[in-house]
Amino acid sequence: MNDTRLAPKIRLHVAQPLGPAQTVPLEREQANYLFNVMRLGPGDLVALFNGRDGEWLAEVITAGKRAGELRCHAQSAPQRMPPDVWLLFAPIKKARTDFIVEKAAEMGAARIVPVQTEFTNSERIRRDRLQAHAVEAAEQCGGTYVPEVTDLLRLDRLLDQWPEDRRLMFCDETLAGGAAGLSGFARGDPWAILIGPEGGFSEAERARLRGASLARAVSLGPRILRADTAAVAALTLWQTALGDW
Ligand code: SAH
């Protein structure tokens, strides 16, 4: 082992189990990143996590152009799960949707759910690409957990089958300027945050959400925020009031 590299800066998400002396074969893209882009070689250390087993220090055993193998040494951080909060958002333009997924992963969302509302601008998403953004965000922010990005779901269907124990923080732009509205809840309940598209919610959607017993309509301050800003602001508000901040 190369002792000058005991604090690796490179963090890699892998699918394989991690544990003492566990070997981890690399996929082609991972080998390319570690050995060609970052110029690592045998003896160098990287930090690995898989979303289940915490973070592990692993040593490069073999390094090829398209393949390689690492071996785990010791756990360097325990597994940490985010609070049970989902982010539901209506996809917008590609770059802004990417931003929302990246920020939601950094801000500790447990699950990221793109929803199609009446005024949603985009009818398709690339789930695999969005999931890759969530993985990169987790690698970068020191997290040991990667939120799942689901397929695009219709808001009305999602509400039809809403889990009976999950509260919903409905970010309602018509409440701009009112009080935030998250007081009076205890920590520990499962929640979801709902952010609308650039066109906001329809009257029918608003009426349904206002009438839902598990939903709480909240304001995100006196200004109307763009959907990507609103997603970060809402997660900040929720994490401060009810999450792990
Ligand atoms: N076109 C709408 C604004 C949509 S903003 C209008 O002009 O009224 C996009 C989403 O961000 C909204 O649907 C809401 O979920 C959230 N949002 C933005 N600003 C907000 C605020 N001040 N309070 C609550 N939600 C807000």
Residue 2: inside a domain: no
Which ligand 1 atom is nearest residue 201's CA? 13
Per residue in 120-157, pLDDT tens? 977 789 999 999 999 999 999 999 999 999 999 999 99
What is the predicted pLDDT for the residue at 7?
61
Per residue in 91-111, pLDDT tens? 999 999 999 999 999 999 999
Per-residue model confidence (pLDDT) at position 6: 56
Domain membership of residue 6 (yes or no) is no
Ligand 1: does its nearest atom lie under 6 Å from the Cβ of 241?
no
> Same domain, yes or no, for 97 and 199?
yes
Q: Within this chain, do residues 219 and 193 fall inside the same structural domain, yes or no? A: yes
Domain boundary among the residues 38, 60, 77 is at 77
Please name the residue whose Cα sits nearest to atom 26 of ligand 1.
Answer: 173
Residue 144 confidence (pLDDT): 97
What CATH number did the domain enclosing 66 receive? 2.40.240.20
Q: Which pLDDT score is estimated for 179?
A: 85
What residues in the chain have per-residue pLDDT under 50?
A: 4
User: Domain range spanning residue 160?
Assistant: 85-242
Domain count, the chain: 2
| pTM (2 d.p.) | 0.94
89 CA → ligand 1 middle, Å: 11
Secondary structure in 3-state letters for the chain: CCHHHCCCCCEEECCCCCCCCCEEECCHHHHHHHHHHCCCCCCCEEEEECCCCCEEEEEEEEECCCCEEEEEEEEEECCCCCCCEEEEECCCCHHHHHHHHHHHHHCCCCEEEEEECCCCCCCCCCHHHHHHHHHHHHHHHCCCCCCEECCCEEHHHHHHCCCCCCEEEEECHHHCCCCCCCCCCCCCCCEEEEECCCCCCCHHHHHHHHHCCCEEEECCCCCCCCHHHHHHHHHHHHHHHHCCC
In a domain, 155, yes or no: yes
Quote the pLDDT of residue 140: 95
Q: Does ligand 1 lie within 6 Å of residue 178's CB atom? A: no
One domain, residues 157 and 48: no
**What spacing in Å lies between the alpha carbon of 136 and ligand 1's midpoint?**
28
Q: Is residue 102 part of a domain?
A: yes
68 and 154 assigned to the same domain: no
